[in-house]
Amino acid sequence: MTASPHILVVDDHREIRELVSRVLTREGFRVSAAGDGQAMRRLLADGRIDLVLLDLMLPGEDGLSLCRFLRAETDLPIIMITAKGEEVDRVIGLEMGADDYLPKPFGSRELVARIRAVLRRAVPSRGAARPEGGSAGFRFGAWTLSVAARELLRADGVVVPLSTGEYDLLLALLERPNRVLSRDQLLDLTRGRSAAPFDRSIDTQVSRLRKKIEEDPSDPRIIKTVWGGGYILAAEVTET
């Protein structure tokens, strides 16, 4: 487990494979590369893989069906790469079971950050918590958070858009319901996804989030403050 994570890159474009492999190797990952679904299956059988970087457009069997296969056969985290970059494709990709979605063109820093974030999220829940990959969403109180669409829905179906910070915070809390999380823990859990330089304090994000989801923000029922400790998601959470 202490060995560096092993990434499988699946892309039909040779130069992309080479460049991505070089970047990841430099960043300390072990890398294998495959040009199509067949090669991917062979490599999966051969060695222990920790994460699959999967291009959506592949000759022969396409990325979506490979993604479905990976989801069904393994619990490997998957990051989907695509040049399409449309919101609809992103949602479909995530619904197919991908853990994240990286639109082309991307840079090495972005690539590495996503891989680290997905690995970090995957490790604690590996095994028991997520036998079938990430949850599609969470239901709590009158709300539903869809992970694939990154969307908060009210009971009446109204979409209530969240900022990136609010979404990351809410997701971190929902993944660990009824556990007291300190500000440092929350900062750590959310920073991986939004590495913005002017990140607001956790307190600011919590107060914004409360305005949106609490019936009475001054008397919160969902996200409660624990004196001296941090915050706790107090509502009953169902994974969907």
Both ends of the chain: CA-CA distance in Å?
30
Under the phi-then-psi rule, with left for phi > 0, alpha for psi from -120 to 50, and beta for the rest, what region is 96? Answer: alpha
Among 212, 230, 232, 239, binds other proteins (CB under 8 A): 212
In angstroms, give the least distance from the CB of 169 to other proteins. 12
Instruction: Return the structure tokens found at 51.
Output: 């994460």
Q: Does the protein bind other proteins through residue 162 (CB under 8 A)?
A: yes
Among 25, 42, 87, 238, binds other proteins (CB under 8 A): 87
Instruction: Return the structure tokens found at 43.
Output: 């490599």
Among 1, 3, 46, 198, binds other proteins (CB under 8 A): 198
Q: Does the protein bind other proteins through residue 207 (CB under 8 A)?
A: no
Number of residues in contact with other proteins under rule CB under 8 A: 40
Among 30, 61, 108, 192, binds other proteins (CB under 8 A): 108
Q: Taking contact as CB under 8 A, which single stretch among the options 42-50, 113-121, 178-186, 194-202 is the one that binds other proteins? A: 194-202
Among 73, 86, 188, 236, binds other proteins (CB under 8 A): 86
Q: Taking contact as CB under 8 A, which single stretch among the options 42-50, 63-71, 119-127, 196-204 is the one that binds other proteins? A: 196-204
Q: Does the protein bind other proteins through residue 84 (CB under 8 A)?
A: yes
Q: Does the protein bind other proteins through residue 208 (CB under 8 A)?
A: yes
Cβ contacts of residue 180 below 8 Å, gap of 6+?
226, 229, 230, 231, 232
Whether cis (ω within 30° of 0) applies to the bond prior to 105 is yes
Instruction: Return the structure tokens found at 229.
Output: 């400790």
CA distance readout (Å), 53 to 6, 89, 222: 11, 16, 36
Instruction: Return the structure tokens found at 114.
Output: 């996503």
Among 36, 62, 199, 239, binds other proteins (CB under 8 A): 199
| Residue placing its CB nearer to other proteins in the complex, 197 or 228 | 197
Radius of gyration from C-alpha coordinates of the chain: 19
User: Which of 230, 178, 180 lies closest to 205 in space, CA to CA?
Assistant: 230
Q: Does the protein bind other proteins through residue 59 (CB under 8 A)?
A: no
- Residue 137 to residue 134: CA distance in whole angstroms: 9
Q: Where do contacts with other proteins occur on this chain (CB under 8 A)? A: 13, 15-16, 19-20, 22-23, 83-88, 103-109, 154, 156-166, 194, 196-200, 208, 212
